[in-house]
Amino acid sequence: MEDQLLQMRQVIEEFRPNRVAIDSLSALERVSTIRGFREFVIGLTSFIKHKEIVGLYTSTTPTLLGGTSITEAHISTITDSIILLRYVELFGEMRRGLTVLKMRGSMHDKEIREFTIDGQGMHIGKPFRGISGILSGHFTHATANELDRISGLFSEGEK
């Protein structure tokens, strides 16, 4: 991993890009120790931040519907933003969900929203309602009574 980092730093120095994308961190993680992987990510992130370059890293989960930790290597503390994409099975149809887990210094939308991609680009849709467990990969569908009960827990009514 150290050789990979040195080579990437050299290429970045020579090319001088405004943006760097690494697709995928999970591929690099599989060929390294946890410590080596973490040091690589810290080293690369520090370098590109120092050079005022935007970094975009992707990471895939080993299962289709997610359910594993995206912060297992503890690199979430290094990042400024984490955007999570998930497949969502909804009544026999596969949909795509998106949520912003973290965006440093922002009061971002915390809902899990459907997104679609077509010939015109990516479109962010409505939030998923009545579904729990999307991020864990263990979905449950809530009834209207359950939704009423849950929303009552977070109302600003009587104390």
What global pTM score does this model have?
A: 0.73
Query: What does the pLDDT average to over 47-57?
Result: 95
Question: What is the mean predicted confidence (pLDDT) over 26-35?
Answer: 87
pLDDT for the residue numbered 26: 85
Instruction: Give the percent of the chain with pLDDT over 70.
Output: 75
pLDDT at 118: 97
CB atoms within 10 A of CB 153: 6
The owner of tokens 């730093």 is: 9
Is 139 exposed, middle or buried, given 0-12, 13-18 or 19+ CB atoms closer than 10 A?
middle
Residues of the chain with CATH 3.40.50.300: 64-159
pLDDT surpasses 70 at 114: yes
Cis status, amide bond into 76, omega within 30 of 0: no
- Rounded mean pLDDT of the chain? 82
Tokens for 10?
A: 């050299």
User: Which one-letter DSSP state was computed for residue 60?
Assistant: -
Is residue 11 classed exposed, middle or buried when 0-12, 13-18 and 19+ CB atoms within 10 A define those classes? Answer: exposed
What's the average model confidence in pLDDT over 71-90?
A: 79
Q: Give the C-alpha separation, 36 to 23, whole Å.
A: 18
In whole angstroms, what separates CA 20 from the centre of its chain?
17
CATH 1.10.1060.10 fits 64-159, yes or no: no
